[in-house]
Amino acid sequence: MSATLEKAAMNPVYCKRLLMHRIGIALSVAAMSVGLLVLAWILITLLVKGFGALSINMFTQTTPAPGSEGGGLINAIVGSLMIVGLSTLISTPIGILAGIYLAEYGEENKIASITRFVTDIMLSAPSIVIGMFVWALYVATTKHYSGYAGSIALALIAVPVVVRTTDNMLRLVPNSLLEAAFALGAPRWKVAMMVRLRAVKAGVITGVLLAVARVSGETAPLLFTALNNQFFSADMNAPMANLPVVIYGFAMSPYDNWRDLAWGGALLVTFSVLALNIISRTVFAQKAPN
């Protein structure tokens, strides 16, 4: 055995392949290290500047006027919650039903193939294009910006994520489970809703949460739709403050307190997205054995 290994070690082809393997591993580790260092640098900077900007006023006061001191982000926080919440209510049922349709009839007709193709295009479409589309379709028609327009734009971004996740999860259900349900005389729609969907409900919930996490930090669509509002407003049919746009505007301002609020808002968005990802993975890990 040892003689065979020694002979292989002396083979020039083997030595060349081993060298290329080690070089590839070294380059992979180096690339990963650079990525982790950059990510750590970003997170450390965000934590240092973001925590320094946190205060009670951030959660109790509205965004300040130019040149004024103090202020907070309560109007932007509430606006983001309302816009993202409405977009989730719109995208979740549409995405889940479309995913069920693709899983059940995806191989049987051309409509399902076209739906899957359009879904893939929407997944890769730049968010600013979707924002311009909603602006031309809704904002230009109604002649004003609004929270509703922002919710529609975010829903268009979230729908393909939910569709693709639901479709992929439903395809993981064993055929034996479906055949058993059909053998009991259950109709196809009931098998899809009561058997197939329930078997992967944790994965579907994960897809919904990941979609929410993705749209929570979108800025470009909201610039074209919801715009912004310096004052506190719960009117979804009017321009509405939201964290991404406020961060975008405040980060480039000449005022120190505005830049501090931008760092604090960025920290809130980052922690919110991180919490949603942790919750989605935790739910999935707990439900997977079932």
What is the arithmetic mean of pLDDT over 133-152?
95
When comparing pLDDT for 283 and 230, which is higher? 230
pLDDT confidence of residue 284: 62
Confidence at residue 285, expressed as pLDDT on a 0 to 100 scale? 56
User: Mean per-residue pLDDT for 123-144?
Assistant: 93
* Cβ within 8 Å of residue 162, ≥6 positions away: 91, 92, 94, 95, 96, 99, 204, 207, 208, 211
Residues 30-78 pLDDT 10s: 999 999 999 999 999 999 999 988 889 999 999 998 888 888 999 999 9
Residue spans of alpha helices (H) in 125-255: 127-134, 140-142, 147-170, 175-183, 188-190, 197-199, 201-216, 220-224, 243-251
Longest CA–CA span in the chain (Å) reads 83
Average pLDDT, the chain: 88
What is the rounded CA–CA span in Å between residue 288 and residue 290?
5
CB 83 within 8 A of CB 240: yes
Question: 151, 90 in Cβ contact below 8 A?
Answer: yes
**Per-residue pLDDT at 14:** 76
The burial class, CB within 10 Å (0-12 / 13-18 / 19+), for 176 is: exposed
Mark 23-60 as b/e (b = at least 16 C-beta within 10 Å): eeeeeeeeeeeeeeeeeeeeeeebeebbeebeeebbee
pTM to 2 decimals?
0.86
Q: What pLDDT, in 10s, does the model give residues 202-251?
A: 889 888 988 998 899 899 999 999 999 888 989 999 999 999 999 999 99
